[in-house]
Amino acid sequence: MTAPTSDRRARPAYAWRVVDIVVAAVLAVACGLIFTLWSASWSVMQVPFAAFPPAGGLLTGGWVIAGPLAGLIIRKPGAALFCELLAAVIEAALGSQFGLGAVFSGLLQGAGAELAFALFAYRRFTLPVGLLSGALAGLALGIHEAIIYYAEWATMWKFVFFIATTISGALIAGLVSWLAMKAVAKTGALSAFAAGRSNREV
């Protein structure tokens, strides 16, 4: 006996479709290119923060945009993790200066981004959830970077760096991803996704 239609609609559809996989892969490729450009420009972007390097964490959000963006658009368990990790793999394959470290970092960042959606059982995809996804991804980046690249920093510097990467993740990854999702949804390009069918969600 099948469940009533109203019950089926009340439960989020967790199964991935072919279109979900294809769009996640396309997003990952696009974000992988962004990651690569971000990495190539990193030495220049850090110049204004030479006097206080931890503040450079405010610019790290470009590396964690894939997870929140995929989570907000695809709205399926694993979307944020999959896209962030695949984008990091692409970055590494394109010759990132961070090498395989970018892949491990992508795994942690993707897990952070994914956690935000999991906390709401993949039922809420509002701006606050997008901001949280970006913030957690940014925090994961900060922790990884502090352990691998900035182990010699004083505890206070690391603390400031964590705050900076978290803020950057929330604004650059979370806010920008949410705005991008809403803008694209208005064009009708996301009609195959819940993101396109619930354009009035706030």
What's the whole-model pTM score? 0.87
Q: Report domain extents, the chain.
A: 18-42+57-197
- From 155, 131, 152, 160, select the one nearest 67 (Cα to Cα): 131
Which pLDDT value is given to residue 98? 83
Give domain 18-42+57-197's CATH architecture.
Answer: Orthogonal Bundle (1.10)
d(CA 131, CA 67) in angstroms, rounded, equals 12
- What length is written for the chain? 202
Predicted confidence pLDDT, tens digits, the chain (202 residues): 444 444 445 445 788 999 999 999 999 999 999 999 998 888 899 899 999 999 999 999 999 999 999 999 999 999 999 999 999 999 999 988 888 889 999 999 999 999 999 999 999 999 999 999 999 999 999 999 999 999 999 999 999 999 999 999 999 999 999 999 988 888 877 777 766 666 544 4
- From 116, 173, 166, select the one nearest 139 (Cα to Cα): 166
d(CA 174, CA 113) in angstroms, rounded, equals 9
d(CA 108, CA 81) in angstroms, rounded, equals 8
Which pLDDT value is given to residue 8? 46
**Residue showing tokens 């979307």:** 79
